[in-house]
Amino acid sequence: MLNNKSILITGGTGSFGKMFTSLILERNPDVKKLVILSRDEQKHFQMAQEFPEDKYPAMRYFIGDVRDKDRLIRAMTGVDYVIHAAAMKHVHLAEYNPDECIKTNVGGAQNVVDACLMTQVERVVALSTDKACAPINLYGATKLTSDKLFVAANNIRGNNPIRFSVVRYGNVMGSNGSVIPFFLNKKKEGVLPITDINMTRFNISLQGGVDMVMHALENAWGGEIFIPKIPSYRITDVAEAIAPDCKQEVVGIRPGEKIHEEMITPSDSYHTYDLGKYYTILPATHRWNLVDYINHFNAEMVEKGFSYNSGENTEWETIDTLIDLIKIHVTN
């Protein structure tokens, strides 16, 4: 699908961007152009060592910020597909710096929408988070707003054939700033800080996130929020898997944190369909025929009142499965 296409990834020097880049270059040797847009010049430098332009001539390293619409328009000229991964994502930092989070996660999202509509982009997939579902923190609220902007962008495209969609998933194993690398670093101290012994989270690998984006690029009709069916883990099990000999010290939840995360609320259930591997929340307003959509994907509407919550999940990681997954996705 991506051969002879030009792709741009905002926030492309992050964990997701590097994994997605590796996959594209491996599976699509004839990709026309792969633009990495990031404001972090040091990460650009480091990524260029891993994917040098002399070995991968499709690579382009484009310093830019999603807050700068003019720069986005220049970067997206000639681009076919855009993956929007740029965001401020640390919950407690967003609580302390709300204005900066809003500028990037909301203003930046609108700039991406506008720039895509002003160029010849064909497909746009925005990365979201479980924290955007019934948010209690500023980060989640900004990502919910971002989701709404990308979904609604399909209503203002006129005759432009562009399609916008969103992928929403949980904690990514081993991503920058996530709990597993944090625990791996802290275990040498002999004590692991536990926010709450009842805390749970959804779990997905970077590869799982990349696969979701590919699914959205290939299958979105415009306006969907795609949600994976993934297991949950207990934070205490993660600690036990990483450092069974360490003391677990309860320190209390940080500002804006939930005990359990959600990806679908009971209110969402009235627009949510089961696609098999994924759920999708369909837009209330869409430009395609719902019956055609249901028939095409063999979609089944979930029960009214259905919710998808990490604490009430039917699939769980165990200490043993976590040990194996950490070896595969993080420490190797």
Q: In the structure encoding, which two tokens stand for residue 279, read together? A: 């759920």
pLDDT of residue 329: 85
Closest CA to 88 of 136, 37, 133, 139: 139
Q: In the structure encoding, which two tokens stand for residue 63, read together? A: 């310093």
pLDDT of residue 80: 98
Closest CA to 1 of 119, 86, 122: 122
Q: How far apart are CA 32 and CA 18, in angstroms?
A: 18
Cβ atoms 35, 60 nearer than 8 A: yes
Q: In the structure encoding, which two tokens stand for residue 270, read together? A: 């009235």
**Superfamily for 6-170+204-230+262-308?**
NAD(P)-binding Rossmann-like Domain (3.40.50.720)
Domain ranges (residues) in the chain: 6-170+204-230+262-308
Stretches in the chain below the pLDDT threshold 50: none
Question: Among positive and negative, which fits the CA dihedral 307, 263, 165, 94?
Answer: positive
Do β-strands 247-250 and 272-274 pair in parallel, antiparallel, or remain unpaired? Answer: unpaired
Catalytic residue flag (residue 229) = no
pLDDT of residue 101: 98
Nearest-10 crossing angle of helices 69-76, 108-118: 40
Q: In the structure encoding, which two tokens stand for residue 307, read together? A: 């919710």
Residues 6+ apart with CB under 8 A from 54: none
Cβ atoms 127, 164 nearer than 8 A: no
Phi and psi (nearest 5°) for 29? -65, -20
Q: How far apart are CA 193 and CA 187, in angstroms?
A: 10
Q: In the structure encoding, which two tokens stand for residue 231, read together? A: 């297991």
Per DSSP, the residues of 29-98 read TTB-EEEEEES-HHHHHHHHHHS-TTT-TTEEEEE--TT-HHHHHHHHTT-SEEEE------HHHHHH-H
From 131, 143, 188, 304, active-site residue: 131
pLDDT of residue 79: 98
Containing H/E element for 281? strand 278-281
